[in-house]
Each structure stands twice: as structure tokens, then as C-alpha cells.
Amino acid sequence: MDLEGKPNRILVLYASQTGNAMDVAERIGREAERCGCSYVEVLSMDSFDANCLPKEGIVIFVVSTTGQGDNPDPMKVFWRFLLQRHLGNNWLKGLQYAVFGLGDSGYQKYNFAAKKLDKRLIDLGAKPIIHRGLGDDQHRAGYEGILDPWLISLWKMLNGMNSAILPRISAIYDTNRTLEHPKYKVKYHSTGLNSDFPTSKDFNTCGKMIEMARLMSPLAQQIFGDNRPDHFLQMVKNERLTKADSSRDLRHFEFEFLTPGADYHVGDVLEILPTQNPVAVDAFIKRCNLDPNSYITVHHKENGRRPFISHADDFPNAINLRAFVALTMDVASASPRRYFFEVMSFFAAAVHEKERLQYFASSEGRDDLYQYNQKERRTVLEVLEDFPSVQMPFEWLVQLVPPLRTRAFSISSSPLAHPNQVHITVSVVSWISPYKRTRHGLCSTWLAGLDPRDSKEIYIPVWIHHGSLPPPAPMLPLILIGPGTGCAPFRAFIEERAVQKECSPIAPTLFFFGCRNQENDFIYKDFWLSHAQSPGVLSAENGGGFFVAFSRDQPTKMYVQHKMKEESARIWSLLSSGAAIYLAGSSTKMPADVTSTVEEIIAQESGSSKDSAARWLKLHERCGKFHIEAWS
């Protein structure tokens, strides 16, 4: 491979939905610099002009896959550009590239975004430096189990192509190297913005503070798009849907909009910024010897790479340090990355702690680190407490502590039925770690602990986005499949059709619901049964139907797929008349199993082969009549 005439640099483009791809891209950038590459640039894909791609010499792409094989948000515009028909098969002639994907083999379309990108780059004339790497969350060491050997091979290939690009490969693994400087600096100020969030009714100030904090946060700024909340909500109902003695805690939450302009559609998604436990926030600040009453701004240091776009200078006020930590740094629920341990090793005063941290950061200690950190889901605060001799500067903590993320929930209400309200259905997350520690989901546990009678001064910042389930027209026949909390968006669909039916005709709706047993987790039972009776949306009178599978109420497990097969003739009749299929729920086996069942029904009722049925369903999907929304 001839690299003459190309810039002596490496461009790393990443598309991250939750931050993993960005973390991998940053690691690739660090290792390339340690190898002696004279110029490395690490950019989010949505900040790069795809039209400039042919001018590049070497590009390393790092992309995650979301949902059911979907591209992450930062990749969508870039991908649409690459799909333009006028781009010929020599458009990228001269570009040499590598692709690393992040995915989960438990999903039906495992690493689909990376596979599509790799194929398209080849179609456009680009030459792969190395076969694509596919990180798998199911690997015993997480995605790094694939990433580590893939990177070693990549650096060797690049060095063999032109040793001037990467002259010092051994420097990656040099334990005697010095620590690079942090990329950000923290300035301290005497005064600044100090709202009483989340109890201030000055929503403009609260929104401004959240926006300012997220724009100043290096990780939050690069991952999240919208920074100022769309709305503030107040909880008005917190209802447990399962019995108190049930092992599962499923909740129905209702909120009222406190800010004007409430506007959403069925099928939309509500993103909530959770409030961290103030005790944990204070413990982190104390452990790191920080002054919670100080005011700060965070700025990028110029270091040869293009700085991230920061609008911090647009705000004349600094932000209270405690508020910044609480709003942007996930100190008590997220696990730190591997690089966190590497940086910690440079600040460890105790020899035994330094050695352990160096081992965790090495390739030899990768599996043990995974067991200690990710599998156990140790938090940043817990890790820091496990290594008491480490005192990391705040500049490094700002760069390395995982960002506080919003949590997304399918909306389970219709705005037509509940003006100025929005409802969600939530499973309160808890589990036992390998070392028998009880872990709790941050957002679901916080919401479950709010009492609407006592929490009237808690104002919840939210964003509303379109989900994977577009709102259906009233005369579109529907086949809805939503086991467990997958029923949430379909509660909204049925509420909406009930209101629409009062003014105009509606098409038939079939709904297939599943849960473990009728006694404990038949959630929204009265709602479904009332709409299944005449003249309800799901009633036979309206051509509809409600079918429920209780998987544990009989010796042989019964799932929604079995109920669908019992109604195969009705399903095929609706599909033949143009019905749309909507599927929501767990992202593991369920979507694949239900899709396979639909294909079997089509084959059986139409008299065609399974392959023909699969092609028919694919065409149905391309026509916008098969939608899946799944979550882990």
C-alpha cells in the first residue's frame, strides 16, 4: 500500500450513542500519539464534513449500533451522504481505513452499523487496512476482549505499511512512560450561577444552569445534542402496578407539564435527567478534596487536535462546583473506563495501590479488571474509596468520570386523552452483583422514591424525542405486540384511538400482551379488559382483539408467539389488508422470536416458503409497516 503524497496523520471518526465508541476513539488517538504519529485527530462523525473524506489518507472509524441495528445519531447524516448514488466506486480510491464496531451479540442485528459502513466504504473504492473488528458486550471481558488484539494488529499493519507514521509501537506498552497532560483546565471564580435546582421555580435559570453545565462538561458536550431541557415536569402519580410482595416492581408514573408548549405524540420517548443521591455527591466531593461552594468554568486546552465546540464563553457566569458534579458527573451509578485506572496509577502514593492499578490498566489485567469493575458495576466513588492513596486533580476527573446520562422511557399516554400530562411505565431496576451487593438503577429508583404529596417542589427536567414507533393514522389496521413493559407505548396508542373513535371511524387493532403470571404482573389489566369490551378499541365489534399469554401459569411456558400462532388467520387477514406491525419490549431474544413467528404465519397462511415470507416481511418493513422499539 502506497501512502506517498498523503498527510502523515491519522483521522479517527466515531459515532457514539452512549459514550463507548467515543471512549474507544480516544484510546485509539492516545495510542497513535504514543506510537509517534505526528498528527492525530479524533472527531465525532457529525462534526466532520463527509465531502472531505477523499482527501484523507488514513481513517479509523469507531461506530456503535443502537436499537435493532440502527445507526447512532451522530452517524445518520454522514451515512445518508455516503448512500448518494452519484458517488462512484472510485470516489474513495486512495483512502485506507479500518472499522471497529461496538455491539451486543444478544441483539438480532449484531454490529449492523459497523458492517454496513465497512461494506459501503469498500463499494466506494476505499481499501481496508485490516478486517473490521466487532466488539461484543457478551464477551467475558466486554468489547475490550476484541479491541485489544485488534488494535495490536492494526498498529503492526500501519507500521509495516509505512514505519514513519507509527515509528514507536513499543511505546504503547511502556510502563515507564509519563502521563500526558489533561485536555481540559478548570478555572475557579469568586461568584457564579447558583440556582436552587431542582427546587427553584425559576425554570429559565434551572434550564440555563443545566445547559451551561452540560456544555462545559467535556464528555456530556460530545455525547448529548440538546442541552437545555424541553420541559420541566412535576410528578402527580406514583402507582405500583405489581403486588407489594412481587419480586418485580413495575410502576406507573404520571407527570404534569410546568412549562408551556407541551407537545408530543404517541410513540414518542421521554428522556429524564435523574437526580443523583446528594449523599453520594457530597461523599465524592469530600473524597476528592473539592470545595463544593466554589464556582468553576471548564475549558479545552489547545493540544494540536481540533477542540470540541464549547459555548461556555457565551455564559458570563461560572457554575457552582457541586451543581456541576451533580448535573454532569455520574459518580454513584456508572463504572469508570479502563483509562481511569491507568491515570489513577500515576497519582497513587501507596506502592501496592500503584502496582494493582498498573496491572488493571495492562492487557494482562484486562479480564480481572472486567470482573472487578464492569461485572461488579463498581461506581466511580467506590473505586476511589478502594484506592485511598490516590488524589486525582479535578481536571482529570472532569475528563474521565462518566457523564450523567438521561434515561429514556416510552411514553404510555395520549396527549388527546391527557392534556398537559405525560405518563410512563417503568421497571424499577435492581440486581445482585457477583459479590452479592444489591445494585439499583439510578433513575428508576429515584422516581420510585418520590411521593407526589411530598415532592411538589421537585421539578424534573425532560426532553421529548421521536422514538421508533411513528404514530399510526386512525384508519391504519394495527397488530401490536408488547410483552412486559413493552405494552407502554401501546397503552398510548389505544388511548388515542379511543378518543379518535368518538369523532370518526378507526381501523381494527389486535394487541398481544405477555407477562409471567396473571396474579402478580398483569399490568394495566382493567385498562386492557375495558377496551376489549364493546364498544372498545380492542373489541370484536371494532374488528379488534386482546390476547394475553401468562408464561408461568402452566407447566409449559406460554409466550406471545404462541398466542399469535393461535390467531394466525386474523393476523394474515389484517396484514393482507395493509396492517402495520408494532413490536416493543426486551431487546434480547424477544424481537427475533416474534419476527420469526410472523414469518411462519405469513408462510403458513399464504402457502409460501419461509424465505418468501421473510422477503415479504422485509418489504413490509421498507414500506414503513413493521416497527420495533426494544431496550435492554
Q: How far apart are the C-alpha atoms of 52 and 454, rounded to whole Å?
A: 56
Q: How far apart are the C-alpha atoms of 16 and 75, rounded to whole Å?
A: 8
State mean pLDDT over 130-145: 88
Cβ contact 43:49 at 8 Å: no
> Residue 533 annotated as binding?
no
> Residue 409 annotated as binding?
yes
> Residue 65 annotated as binding?
yes
> Residue 551 annotated as binding?
yes
The amino acid present at 335, given as its one-letter code, is S
pLDDT of res. 105: 82
pLDDT of res. 208: 87
Cα→Cα distances 130→27, 58, 125, 374, Å: 18, 12, 15, 28
In a 13 Å sphere around the CA of 546, the CA atoms on its Cβ side amount to: 20
Q: Is 277 among the domain residues?
A: no
Q: How far apart are the C-alpha atoms of 485 and 210, rounded to whole Å?
A: 30
The pLDDT-based confidence of 4 (bands split at 50, 70, 90) is: very low
> Residue 485 annotated as binding?
yes
The CA R_g of the chain, rounded to the nearest whole Å, is: 26
Question: If you average pLDDT over every residue of the chain, what do you get?
Answer: 90
> Residue 596 annotated as binding?
no
pLDDT of res. 231: 95
Q: Is 156 among the domain residues?
A: yes
Number of domains observed in the structure of the chain: 2
pLDDT of res. 195: 66
> Residue 441 annotated as binding?
yes
The pLDDT-based confidence of 548 (bands split at 50, 70, 90) is: very high
pLDDT of res. 1: 40
The pLDDT-based confidence of 163 (bands split at 50, 70, 90) is: confident
pLDDT of res. 223: 63
> Residue 16 annotated as binding?
yes
> Residue 228 annotated as binding?
no
Q: How far apart are the C-alpha atoms of 120 and 188, rounded to whole Å?
A: 48
The pLDDT-based confidence of 625 (bands split at 50, 70, 90) is: very high
178 grid coordinates: 509519563
State mean pLDDT over 296-321: 62
Q: Could you tell me which residue, 222 or 459, shows the higher pLDDT?
A: 459
> Residue 206 annotated as binding?
no
State mean pLDDT over 145-172: 87
Give residue 154's domain range: 10-173
254 grid coordinates: 404520571
pLDDT at 33 over 60: yes
What global pTM score does this model have?
A: 0.89
Strands 40-44 and 10-15: parallel
Q: Is 295 among the domain residues?
A: no
> Residue 445 annotated as binding?
no
Task: Find, among 126, 52, 124, the residue nearest to 95 by Cα.
Answer: 126
Q: Identify the domain boundary among 149, 173, 197.
A: 173
> Residue 408 annotated as binding?
yes
| Angle, helices 488-501/525-532, rounded to nearest 10 degrees | 40
pLDDT at 14 over 60: yes
pLDDT of res. 604: 96
pLDDT of res. 224: 64
> Residue 552 annotated as binding?
yes
Task: Find, among 85, 141, 68, the residue nearest to 363 by Cα.
Answer: 141
> Residue 20 annotated as binding?
yes
Q: Identify the domain boundary among 173, 188, 213.
A: 173
> Residue 77 annotated as binding?
no
Q: Identify the domain boundary among 173, 198, 228.
A: 173
> Residue 17 annotated as binding?
yes
CATH classification at residue 41:
3.40.50.360
Q: Is 383 among the domain residues?
A: no
> Residue 21 annotated as binding?
yes
The pLDDT-based confidence of 314 (bands split at 50, 70, 90) is: very low
3-state secondary structure at position 453:
coil
pLDDT at 456 over 50: yes
Could you read off the pLDDT of 110-127 as tens digits, one per residue? Answer: 899 999 999 999 999 999
Q: Is 333 among the domain residues?
A: no
pLDDT at 310 over 60: no
Cβ contact 443:407 at 8 Å: yes
Q: Which of 106-110, 351-355, 444-448 has the lowest mean pLDDT?
A: 106-110
CATH classification at residue 484:
3.40.50.80
Q: How far apart are the C-alpha atoms of 468 and 630, rounded to whole Å?
A: 9
The pLDDT-based confidence of 226 (bands split at 50, 70, 90) is: low
Q: Could you tell me which residue, 295 or 305, shows the higher pLDDT?
A: 295
Could you read off the pLDDT of 553-594 as tens digits, one per residue? Answer: 888 889 999 999 999 999 999 999 999 999 999 877 888 899
> Residue 451 annotated as binding?
no
pLDDT at 204 over 90: no
> Residue 377 annotated as binding?
yes
The amino acid present at 128, given as its one-letter code, is P
DSSP 153: H
Q: Is 585 among the domain residues?
A: yes
The pLDDT-based confidence of 307 (bands split at 50, 70, 90) is: very low
> Residue 412 annotated as binding?
no
State mean pLDDT over 591-600: 94
Could you read off the pLDDT of 58-77 as tens digits, one per residue? Answer: 999 999 988 777 888 889 99
pLDDT of res. 352: 97
The amino acid present at 94, given as its one-letter code, is G
Q: Is 593 among the domain residues?
A: yes
Task: Find, among 104, 20, 93, 96, the residue nearest to 62 by Cα.
Answer: 20
> Residue 443 annotated as binding?
yes
The pLDDT-based confidence of 191 (bands split at 50, 70, 90) is: confident
> Residue 153 annotated as binding?
no
Q: Is 366 among the domain residues?
A: no
How wide is the angle at C-alpha 228 spanned by C-alphas 225 and 229, nearest 5°? 100
State mean pLDDT over 519-547: 95
The pLDDT-based confidence of 423 (bands split at 50, 70, 90) is: very high
State mean pLDDT over 29-47: 89
Q: How far apart are the C-alpha atoms of 294 and 41, rounded to whole Å?
A: 34
Q: Which of 138-142, 367-371, 445-449 has the lowest mean pLDDT?
A: 138-142
Cβ contact 483:557 at 8 Å: no
